[in-house]
Amino acid sequence: MSVLHRFRLRRRGGWLQSPFVWVLGVACLLEVAFHASKYRVPVPPRELDAPFYTSCQEPVTDGPRENAAIVMLARNQEVEKAARSVRSIEERFNRWFKYPIVFLNDDPWSEEFIQTLNASTSAPTFFENVPKDQWTFPSWMDKDAAQASIKDQGDRGILYAGKETYHHMCRFFSGSFYTIEALKKYKWYWRLEPDVEFSCSITYDPFVEMARHKKVYGFTISLWEEKRTCPSLFREVSDWKEAQKIPSTTLWNAGVDASWMPWPFRSMMSWFSHRDSAGDGWNLCHYWSNFEIADLDFFRGKKYQDLYQHLEHSGGFYFERWGDAAVHSLAVNMLAKPHQVHHFSDFGYRHDWYYQCPANAPGGQLPESKTLNEAQSKWASEIPGGVGCRCDCDGSRNRNHASYCLNKLKAPNTASRPWSTWLLSFIF
């Protein structure tokens, strides 16, 4: 081996033998670990969000009610899908509790829709219209530029982003929905979509239980957001949060993926629009908002409305395709306390092909109940650990989608944390 060759080998591997390099590497690893630890979600001392009930209850048909409504946004041409949803919630819940159903439409209702939906429920119904100025582009926005952006988003294959009405809907559900005249008299709402199905009996009043337990937001399914729909949303929300000096809670931290880039390079990550000013990102986990049971006053409050106005004037509802689910989720995680968010793990629910199906509670199906037997006389097998009431879906498989986001968003309230969730958090 020549002298020159030996010299090259030493140069090539010499940096690995430098104590300075090793000290610097260890320091970077420690700094990164310390930074990530700031987003650690500690295990709570007790379960903070247990199911309200873990078996069937005898429905209290004459008990006190909350000031609440079931709300559906629909179109006349969705009459059959809307009727299926209303029949399902009627069979599984509202036949006993009779909460009013408010239907919203940006066009006048057809007589066929009104007659069909009235025939699908025993509850009071109200058919209202969304004001035209709340289902259009903001007055200050360049409409031609917004429409060109919508077309471009559609051409690039971004989910639903090529539909102008979809942008209007997401903007509406993110903001003026909460202050619309038709809902001003209510405090609580249960959002119902056309073409959904409830596969378990709901034999207690969720509005009463939400109020009793001081909850503000309830959900069934949690999924990843489509990243291309909202590349700058997290940055806009986190910048507003920082400007308002709102402290981070464990619920907010559960939605953040801490950057593994060491200082000072981490701050360079903030150049990317989908990261906050510190270079950390959003894990894209959100509550699927086609099902929500929530406190209207929470969203009518000054903080949420100020946030919405900030987002509104950024233009992202049209120049990107910000979904109301993502907006609601980031707002709830920022403004609510962890114990104020409830997962309805005992509700069987399907929308599109995604579903949640709890197992039936052993010994808790009240087979002798005449009231329940009038609605549902057959149900799926009872499984140990089940919390469902007369569910007719297969409870041996609780859901047909990844549970990563559900586990992440429930972490502040529970000690039940599958190891796979934390392993995946290093990958995504």
CA 122 to each of CA 96, 98, 132: distance values in angstroms, whole numbers, following the listed order: 9, 7, 30
User: Residue 120 has what DSSP assignment?
Assistant: T
Q: Catalytic: 111?
A: no
Does the structure show a pLDDT above 70 at 57?
yes
Kind and range of the H or E element at 405? helix 404-410
User: Per the structure block, which two tokens stand in for 279?
Assistant: 């270079």
Segment 189-226, tens digit of pLDDT: 999 999 999 999 999 999 999 999 999 999 999 999 99
Higher pLDDT, 3 or 16: 16
User: Per the structure block, which two tokens stand in for 29?
Assistant: 């690893």
The pLDDT score that the predictor gives to residue 275 is 84
Yes or no: say if 346 and 389 are a contact pair by the CB < 8 Å rule.
yes
Active-site residue, from 292, 320, 368, 374: 292
Q: Which residues are paired to 191 by β-bridges?
A: 71, 292
Segment 271-289, tens digit of pLDDT: 777 788 788 889 999 999 9
**Mean pLDDT for all residues in the chain:** 91
User: Per the structure block, which two tokens stand in for 56?
Assistant: 């069937």
User: Residue 257 has what DSSP assignment?
Assistant: E
Dist. CA 283–CA 405, nearest whole Å:
9
Closest CA to 331 of 339, 321, 320, 341: 341
Dist. CA 315–CA 25, nearest whole Å:
43
Contacts 24+ apart (CB under 8 A), 144-148: 145/319, 146/315, 146/318, 146/319
User: Per the structure block, which two tokens stand in for 383?
Assistant: 């499984």
Q: pLDDT band for position 9 (50/70/90)?
A: very low
Closest CA to 340 of 236, 229, 249: 249
Q: Which residues, including other chains, have CB under 8 Å from residue 367's CB and lie 6 or more apart?
A: 373
Does the structure show a pLDDT above 90 at 306?
yes
Which amino acid, 382?
Answer: E
Dist. CA 61–CA 53, nearest whole Å:
17
User: Rounded to the nearest 5 degrees, what angle is found at the Cα of 294, between the Cα atoms of 348 and 236?
Assistant: 110
Segment 62-103, tens digit of pLDDT: 999 999 999 999 999 999 999 999 999 999 999 999 999 999
Dist. CA 23–CA 6, nearest whole Å:
27
Low-confidence winner among 116-125, 273-282, 307-316, 337-346 (lowest mean pLDDT) = 273-282
What is the pTM assigned to this prediction? 0.91
Dist. CA 361–CA 54, nearest whole Å:
7
Dist. CA 345–CA 224, nearest whole Å:
18
The pLDDT score that the predictor gives to residue 7 is 42
Residues across the chain: 428
The pLDDT score that the predictor gives to residue 423 is 54
Kind and range of the H or E element at 3? helix 3-14
Dist. CA 250–CA 245, nearest whole Å:
16
Dist. CA 406–CA 259, nearest whole Å:
21
Whether residue 418 has a cis bond before it, omega within 30° of 0: no
Dist. CA 307–CA 140, nearest whole Å:
18
